[in-house]
Chains A and B, each alone.
Chain A
Amino acid sequence: MRLQTKLTLFNTLSKLVIVVLFVLLLPRLIGNINLNYTDNRLRKQKDKVLQKIDSLGIEQYMPDGKPYGSYTLLKEEYVGLEESPPSYHLNTIENSERIVEGDTIQYRILSHTFAHDKKNYLLEVGKSVKTIGETSSPLQSIALEVLLGMIFFTVLLDFLYADYLLRPLGKIIKAKLLDKRFPAAGPYQRINTSTYDFKYLDESIHQMIQHIEATFQKEREFISNASHELMTPITILQNKIENLSGREDISDELQLKLVEMHKTLNRLKSITKTLLLISQIENEQFLKEDTISVSELLNDVSDEISIRLQDKNIRMNIEVTDDKTLHEVNRFLLFNLFFNLVNNAIKYNKEQGDIAIKAFREDGSYVIEVSDTGIGIPEEQVPFIFNRFKKFKRSAQQESFGLGLPIVKSIADFHKIGIEVSSELGAGSRFRLIFP
């Protein structure tokens, strides 16, 4: 799940929990507040009545000594005053039922006894409990609506802010990791962000990449230097063997031994030359300033390689449906790319097999396809065929050291040509080169 989604979900949930708790507690809270408020009001009303009695005398309410009672129209409030036994003392506020004109109604009643003119009186001020609680439920629903609205609004804000906040992270990943073509160190481009953590991440990734690049570079230099250093001793050995084998006084047996030596040396020489070539390509030591048409290139390869078809009676067919002139390429390298591809198609083909080379346009890109009717490549090996020195048990008839396809790959990369491989075991392989 995305961080942004997680943050938003968590925010929404935590807010919802708080709101639900609040809304559930609301009746109790409102009840308490109302009760306090009502009690205070009752006390104030009591004080008012007592004040009136003090100033106007009890006769105002009880002119003939009969108990006094007064109700509002809807019986929401009532005031009662009556004489009570002298020993009776009361000062409470509590809920109690009263029967008013035949209706039993729950009241919040303040009962207070007081002495006036040597007589004891009981004053009751009441407020209907129903009117106290009746604001609670509409308040609850309004609160719920308002709060849900606020949650929605803040969650939306959270979402947008998180999106804004996390944008540099996406940028760092895209620019520094996904779009990065290894190995090629460009200048360090800071990703714009005011968040320290992202700056830290950006710089750390850059440092890591620099480290990787440096290691890559060292390895390439090593391969290049090692190959160079090997060239001179190999030359000396080869020249010694050649001078020796040119002598007339050596026996046939010695001559055969010299050929064996030469073969071994040749193997060493091929590996070294190929490694050097690959490292030179990867160090971009080749120029790309040739212009050549696809048909010309394929014909060159065909001329050079056709002698190799003879051995297994392989038919090769070149079909250029749409010729293309390649600009800013290296002719030598492209020649070697196709030579190696076609050479493989011959090497791993069957007797009387076929090789088809097609060049055409497809969905706006230019494609050259080399397919054979050979032994194919097992599916699980396809991802590794471009690895150096990776040898597969494909054919026992040919001696090679597994650098043919790595050459193809590095030349294709150098020219930004894409390679797609499809293969069916026992039926053949197809290499598609997709030109930029």
Chain B
Amino acid sequence: MNVLIIEDEKSLSREVEAFLKKQFYTCDVSFTGNNASEKIAVNLYDFILIDLGLPDYEGLDLLKEAKEYNPEAACIILTARGDVGDKIKGLDLGADDYLAKPFSLLELQSRMQAIARRKFGLKNTVVPLGEFSVDLTNRSIAHSGKEITAITKKEFDLVSYLLLHKNRTLNRMQLNEHIWGSVIEDDYDSNYIDAHIKNIRKKLNAFGPTEWLETVRGVGYRIRTA
């Protein structure tokens, strides 16, 4: 899939580019609004990531242009401004999602996946996981065709997030940010993720082995699939 990254901080755009390339996205980078405007008019993209704080261009105008020349593209706004008004304006203008800085690359990928599933109708949303199968569209986990209803929304979120980044160890901060991202609190070192993982294991172990959900000592958790 083609992604246009519009971000004037070169260091940041390079990190985003490096990360997305690893996930097999094709990336194009613009450091200025004018450059981005040209690219939007000429090329076709699946994703356009727009930083609202560009020095030479009004970010929301780029969004309008994107909607005009790349109507199929999914637009995600990235901003440090955290302005509530900007968020509403952006979503009103047709942005598909909004990610406030500082954001996690894993979260960015998760949002892009969710949009892709919704927008481009990705097939194969049922992923096998040991004896279990995870249905990403209906957001459920089943064992031998039978849905496990004991799994809560948050627990499913954790499993699907780990599954999206499978074979990669996610630390507690990354999992925390995904699960409690919208909560502003003053704990920076909570270990409540452990309680969630404990519950998930307990609930799933009643049906089958969960050796695919690994604890990486001192780091975090990982879903290992072949």
Contacts and interface: CB of A to CB of B under 8 A. Distances in A.
Interface of A: 228-229, 231-232, 234-236, 238-240, 242-243, 245-246, 255-256, 259, 262-263, 266-267, 269-271, 273-274, 276-277, 280, 285-287, 304, 307-308, 310-311, 332, 335-336, 339-340, 343, 347, 398-404, 407
Contacts of B102: 231-232, 234-235, 238, 269
A335 B185 CA distance: 11
Nearest to A332: B182
Contacts, number: 135
A274 B18 CA distance: 30
A256 B188 CA distance: 17
Given A266-B189, A276-B82, 16 more contacts: A228-B81, A228-B82, A232-B12, A236-B11, A238-B103, A239-B12, A239-B19, A243-B105, A246-B19, A255-B216, A266-B188, A273-B184, A310-B195, A311-B195, A404-B186, A407-B184
A232 B118 CA distance: 29
A347 B188 CA distance: 13
Given A228-B81, A274-B184, A263 B196 contact: no
A109 B82 CA distance: 111
A225 B202 CA distance: 46
* Contact residues of A: prevailing secondary structure: helix
A273 B176 CA distance: 15
A407 B177 CA distance: 19
Interface in B59-85: 80-85
Contacts of A239: 12, 15-16, 19, 104-105
A399 B171 contact: no
A399 B187 contact: yes
B218 interface: yes
B130 interface: no
Contacts of A236: 9, 11-12, 15
Interface in B13-29: 15-16, 18-19, 22
Interface in B208-226: 216, 218-220
B129 interface: no
Nearest to B85: A285
Given A236-B12, A307-B196, A400 B82 contact: no
B186 A400 contact: yes
Contact of A398 (B19, B183, B187): B187
A229 B81 CA distance: 9
B186 A403 contact: yes
B101 interface: yes
A173 to B, nearest CB: 38
Contact of A259 (B12, B104, B218): B218
B116 interface: no
Contacts of B105: 238-239, 242-243
Contacts of B168: 246
B85 A308 contact: no
Contacts of A243: 15, 18-19, 105
